[in-house]
Structure 1
């Protein structure tokens, strides 16, 4: 069985963007902050799938976190500021910065973000895609 080395197969038309997405995913792998992605149970009759991203951001205040939706990319940034008045005897917790990005599928949107007990929760919604079936007429040139 042969393997497709990239998304250049004649059977994958219009997937050039997917190759760039896969490359971006491979670069975004530093592991900090750790996160979970979970499917949230549907509570309404709207039939929309809900997802929740939970990031462990202990030590960050709300003012030090930024959540942005840019095109189809969800960006989460954290910037802790140094405390100039602190007189440390031992320092094992560093003030750290991070940027974590998540590629969102078409149609996904951010509902809300909340910070509680060191966990940043970002709720997403994915509307049910409308399945479209079209008949393509075949014309015969004259």
Structure 2
């Protein structure tokens, strides 16, 4: 059973329709996702992540890393180099073009990309804006709260 009904969530939540849509898309596209090239996603810190993609045979200029519309797009396109003069007895290293898309959570953005030992590492960080961070609200007691409330009302009427 792979079908989930998210309609009960819509009755008591606001703004989570995107999350439900992502889950639906992930479940539907689970088998359609290509296996090439292989990749890892790891958590490297409290708010830091790394995506590592196997890019054997690709040079830095053959690779593109782009972030747009909440997605990270990693693509590789290799120009053939003297393929006519090479005769393979076995060809196990796939050097075909690829495109991988990763859906990024809110406030997650790529900060660096580098190649090392046949892997492309893309470092990401989650930076929650100050306005969205939790803040402590002071609880006033007795007379202090009445005075503050009176000042707020007087300020609004002026």
Q: Does TM, normalized by the shorter one, top 0.5?
A: yes
Greater share of residues in helix = 2
Q: Give the aligned partner of residue 13 of structure 1.
A: 14
Q: Deviations over 1:71-117 (max 9, x none)?
A: 11001001112124641221614430111111111111111000111
Higher relative contact order (CA 8 A, sep 6+): 1
**Residue number in structure 2 paired with 1:39:** 43
Q: 5+ residue gaps in structure 2?
A: 138-158
Report SS of the residue matched to 2:51.
strand
CA RMSD of aligned residues (A): 2.6
Deviation at 1:24, TM superposition (A): 3.8
- SS of the equivalent of 1:112 reads strand
Partners of 1:33 and 1:23 in 2: CA distance = 24
Q: What's the CA shift string for 1:54-74, capped at 9, x where partnerless?
A: 111111111110000011100
Higher strand share: 1
Change over 3 Å in CA distance of 1:70–1:16 after alignment to 2: same
TM alignment of 1:104-115, pairs within 5 A: 104-115=104-115
Give 5+ residue unaligned stretches, structure 1. 42-47, 135-142
Larger Rg, first or second structure (1 or 2): 2
TM-score w.r.t. the length of structure 1 is 0.74
**8 Å Cα contact 1:64-1:79 kept in structure 2:** yes
> Distance between the aligned counterparts of 2:39 and 2:133, measured in 1?
31
Q: Which contiguous aligned blocks of 4+ residues in structure 1 show a shift greater than 4 angstroms?
A: none
